[in-house]
Structure 1
Amino acid sequence: MTPMELETLVNRTNIEPRPYQARIVSKVVAMLEGRYTNGLGNLEPAARSAMIESPTGSGKTVMGLLTAKLLQERHGVRVGWVAMRRNLLTQTAAENIEQGINVEPIEFVSMFDKTPATNIDLLIVDEAQHDAASSMAFLHNRIRPRWILGLTATPFRADRVKLCFDKVIKDAGIHQLIQDGYLAKYHHFTIPAFDVETVADFYLREPERWGKTIVFFRKLAECHEFAQRLEEQGASCETVTGSSDREAQLSRFRDGKTNVLVNCMVLTEGFDCPDLQTVFCRDSAKGPTMQMCGRAFRKHPDVPFKQVIQSKLTRYPFTKMATAQEQHLWQEDEWRTLTVNPMINIANSRARMAIANTDVEIPLYIRRRSVGFPNHWTAETLPIN
């Protein structure tokens, strides 16, 4: 595939791929077709499977659909798209049409489907960190596709089960995408602990500061208790579960009729709300932390800065993954604020350039020592000739 082929396809759609998206799509197609040349100039064998690792909000669905369309036009492949949650399949089907990519035919398959279509050549696995699950093993054995493409922001599992893909394609990380303006900048807040009473207290103290908010707890009982505390103080909050009317709840949230959604893990994947302002992220492992916090990073003109709230006890503060524009720490009943100086990066860049362009000459006495002069000679006693 040449860049012209990708450009020709894109011109027929409603999208303008970001530079990293075009690079990733071109690389994936080349790897699957056996045309990829590595950094050493060697042609690598064709891959049967590849995984795109890219942050939440970076447009993995678009990259997956563009890859599918290119392979469909070049090889006539029949495409299957599998996801753990049906709302993800619905969103992908809508995006395929709305963006004018028009992958057709395409089969949408639930990860738990026991009788999936088997006439599939390219199987795309959304949220591919679930690919090691037993339900996915069943689908792979039944469908047996020619190619497999995984999409994920978190290519690792808490149970340490290994994901098996021939190739992993990474380009820009979340920090770089924030700096490049593709994802929203954010402020980070550290609270003393992450329990129902503490989180409810901090939300109710400044509801206007937090705006449209989602909150994550570990247990469903904690979610119900939190929602009750907010409702008793007049705040609108709904608990989203696997059995609740999720679509109606999300609709009310998007329309501003509900200010807060609280859940355990239901909203960690496939929940897109660009004007979401704040995420209260419970203490967790790296993968879930990235998924929970990642809900906030889609850009919206009315929300110039998103907000992430974590406890000081978390092992994975999001500031280790992407630099916050401001950091706020609760101390002595007030927020202590650390603001990133915007001149620091400029100064660092200038310093690096100055160092790189400086001619360095080794002192004379060191040069002479290196060619056999006595070690006891100093700069003052060295002969100049």
Structure 2
Amino acid sequence: MNYGTTVDLTKIQLDNRKLYPYQEAATENLNEYFDLENPTSPQNGLLVMPTGSGKTFTAVNWLLQSAVSRGYKVIWFAHRKDLIEQATYSFIHRAPILLNYGIKKFSIMPISGEHYSMSQASKSDVYVCSIQSAASKNGLRFIKNMLGTKGKEKVVVVIDEAHHAVMPSFRKILDKITKLNKNRVFLGLTATPTRMQESEQMRLYKMFDCFKDVEKAKINKDNPKFIYEVKLKDLITNGTLASPKYQRIETNLIGNVEFDIDKKDEEYYEKYGELSEKIKDQLANSAYRNKIIVDEYIKNRDKYGKTLVFAVNKNHAYTLDQEFKKAFKEKNLDITSEYCISGDNNNQEKINEFKSKKDGVFINVQILTEGSDVPDIQTVFLTRQTNSESLLMQMIGRGLRGKVAGGTETLNVVDFHDTWEKFKFWLDPKFIIDGLTGDSDPGSKPGKMVSIPWDVTMDIYSRMVANVTSKSNSPIVPNGWYSVVDDDGEDYRIIVFDNQLESYKSIEYNIDKIDGNTNAMDLIKRYFILEESIPNEHNIEQLIRYI
């Protein structure tokens, strides 16, 4: 489907999910908060919903029903490719609800370095736009064209992951749009609206009118007003979402010993942060490793129940399915195994069959196909490691449906972990799940290091590979970060790992000795003694400039 053109809504399959009570409450609050009938001034507001709660779906549903149906143009900004594609998909497949308002045609355009360009933006109803594309010097030139006549009269601007909105790039765009439309509506979406520096925290709250009396904002900083807020722990407590329980299974498979890894495989990993197809096939065909996966399920059948298995690749999905079937037959177990890969004609039939069963395993490669939601998943098997935070969250999220929503009380997340010398998989599912279920500490002082809260975990992981050079095989765990400002005035985090902590503390202790003549290599040689703890030189340069 070409998302950059007008689509016939009568030919699009509707995403007909019903809104949960908290999503309905969020929608009602959005309608009460924003005046879309007769706007007479700029309107700003922040919607706070946690990861896994359907924040995008809720916002898209409201925008279509309350804004697009009234002739509003929508400009949705995000800072990552996966977020752009997720929102675009959600708009397309929810858009048929516009048929209820007599609207049969709908146009949407994703804009980024991998989609359409800002110069092509002119007549779409909705734009889902990369902030990098829009905030560039060239991109800002086309904001006026993007709004068009309709947008100069009626426009809703959305910022996904709105805790980034205080960055200069976002503010440039908002200022430009506000000059063109004095009555624009500004909606921020975020899981937790925190910033690491108090000054930025206050700026974020003021941007979204979280205080009635701006003059008293600092006094009331702990009581901001949001359009609507629901916390993840509340959704787990009330049974809307399942409580994830993590378990790591060490395969004791050492990749560089077991497999044939050459220069091309290393180059592929350097470029994409993932294993090459050749290595994936070697993993898929490892009888030793597949036996560990199958035996783990059989030994814990009653505990794991209905299990969704995420395989390494298509070959692995097929091979693993055969191993499960063989083992079930040999042990005379009344359990079924099935696999699903993209392109097969009978996928939906297989999924429906799995839905009807009380246990068994269902194997797929990444995420299940459209319309394939299985609410009562008890266990997710992660048989592949990944550096993609969105993929990991999608895999875990497939089993997070709670009892109230027709799912389960708890979700077992079983992580099959291999050891690699040449490839570093920074993304630790346990860390993600701890962030989902634990309480975070959002407070910090300017330039000080703090423990990592959930709201920025995903952003941190996107930077981790560039933050440390390690030759160690032992796990490297992030401990915190320094929040600084880079050369372009943008927010930047220097991540600190456990094995670097003492070195950074020594730098803090000797901060008075750092001046304009200090260079990065001086500090690295002086304080970072262990080879596996050496940080990225660029990060130390940024820290020196900030100091």
AA aligned opposite 2:390 = G
Work out the CA distance in 2 between the residues paired with 1:119 and 1:228: 51
Match in the other structure for 1:256: 357
Counterpart selection for 2:374 from 232, 257, 273: 273
Tell me how many residue pairs correspond in the alignment.
Answer: 281
Match in the other structure for 1:215: 309
- The answer as to 2:106 corresponding to 1:107 is yes
Structure 2 unaligned residues grouped into runs of 5+: 1-17, 77-83, 134-141, 175-187, 192-228, 253-288, 329-334, 419-426, 439-547
Work out the CA distance in 1 between the residues paired with 2:58 and 2:66: 12
Work out the CA distance in 1 between the residues paired with 2:123 and 2:292: 53
- The answer as to 2:303 corresponding to 1:299 is no
Work out the CA distance in 1 between the residues paired with 2:50 and 2:105: 23
AA aligned opposite 1:315 = D
Work out the CA distance in 2 between the residues paired with 1:259 and 1:87: 30
- The answer as to 2:422 corresponding to 1:322 is no
Match in the other structure for 2:442: none
Work out the CA distance in 1 between the residues paired with 2:344 and 2:124: 33
Q: CA deviation at 1:213?
A: 1.4
Moved more, 143-152 or 61-70: 143-152
**Over residues 205-245 of structure 1, what are the superposed CA-to-partner deviations in whole Å (9 max), with x where a residue is unaligned?**
23332222111122222222211101112342222222123
CA contact (8 A) 2:75 2:157 kept: no
Work out the CA distance in 2 between the residues paired with 1:240 and 1:132: 35
Bigger fraction of residues in helix: 2
Q: CA deviation at 1:63?
A: 2.9
Match in the other structure for 1:240: 340
- The answer as to 2:200 corresponding to 1:196 is no
Q: Alignment identity in percent?
A: 18
Counterpart selection for 1:35 from 39, 43, 57: 43
CA contact (8 A) 1:214 1:262 kept: yes
Alignment of 1:1-385 (within 5 A): 17-18=21-22, 21-22=26-27, 25=30, 34-36=42-44, 54-58=50-54, 60-72=56-68, 75-77=70-72, 92=94, 96=97, 104-105=103-104, 107=106, 119-123=123-127, 144=146, 146=151, 149=158, 168-170=189-191, 172=230, 174-193=232-251, 195-234=289-328, 235-245=335-345, 246-256=347-357, 259-267=360-368, 271-281=372-382, 282-285=384-387, 286-300=389-403, 301=406, 303-311=408-416, 315-317=428-430, 318-323=432-437
Match in the other structure for 2:464: none
CA contact (8 A) 2:47 2:189 kept: yes
Structure 1 unaligned residues grouped into runs of 5+: 1-13, 38-49, 135-140, 156-161, 325-385
* Pair 144,90 (structure 1): closer, same or farther in 2 beyond 3 Å: closer
Q: CA deviation at 1:191?
A: 1.7
- TM-score when scaled to structure 2? 0.40
Q: CA deviation at 1:320?
A: 2.0
CA contact (8 A) 1:190 1:312 kept: yes
Match in the other structure for 1:350: none
**Over residues 140-175 of structure 1, what are the superposed CA-to-partner deviations in whole Å (9 max), with x where a residue is unaligned?**
x9x9464565778xx9xxxxxx99996553355644
CA contact (8 A) 2:64 2:95 kept: no
- TM-score when scaled to structure 1? 0.54
Q: CA deviation at 1:293?
A: 0.6
Higher relative contact order (CA 8 A, sep 6+): 1
Work out the CA distance in 1 between the residues paired with 2:238 and 2:316: 38
* SS of residue paired to 1:274: coil
AA aligned opposite 2:429 = Y
